Every structure is written in structure tokens, then in C-alpha cells.
Amino acid sequence: QPALVDGFDEQHRPVPALLLGTKRGQIFYLNRETGKPLAQVEEKAVPTQGAAEEERLSPTQPFSVGMPTIGAERLTEEKMWGTTLFDQMACRILFKQMNYQGD
């Protein structure tokens, strides 16, 4: 759910702002009147494979780089675990077989 806040623009003037958290843990800080970012946003290349035939995926997505990211750690093989060493090894093997090209 977005939060409506009083923010500041680049010249430190008060502006009505919006804070929007995404499911990827990014926070976008936007001017409510213009929609322009109040914190840095960059367009980054993203994978375009895997869409349904009738769908077209954008080659870039906006990433909020001027605000902190919350709870969106990248999964790695080292973070796989299990209750026994066998479970941990099985999790790591399955993880290595997965094909995830996102960020």
C-alpha cells in the first residue's frame, strides 16, 4: 500500500510525495503531482525470455537505486540449508539446477 507523505524536491522545497514499496523490496519515492522520482531511478536491462506467446516483455525495468532495498537478498547456493547435511546437499543441487536470470 502506498504511503502519502510530505517530501522535498531537489531544491529542498516541500512537495506532496508518495512512497511505494514493491514485492521485490524496492522503495520508489515519487512526487505525487508530477509522478517524477524524488530519489534516483535507473532503467536496467532485464531478461525477456519466458513470456507467453501473446505477451511482450519490456527489455528494461525501472530500479529504485536512490532508496534502500528491504528484505530482498539475492539467493545463493551458500544460503541453501537443510536439517541434515544430506538435506543441505540436496537443496544445493536443486538450486544449481534452477534457471533464474533475474536480479
3-state secondary structure 11-50: CCCEEEEEEEECCCCCEEEEECCCCCECCCEEEEECCCCC
Give me the mean pLDDT over the 25-31 stretch: 95
- Give residue-wise pLDDT tens across range 3-27: 999 998 888 899 999 999 998 899 9
Whole-structure pTM over 0.85, yes or no? no
**Residue 14 bridge partners (DSSP):** 8
Residue type, 24: R
**Residue 34 bridge partners (DSSP):** none
Sign of CA dihedral 21, 37, 69, 63: positive
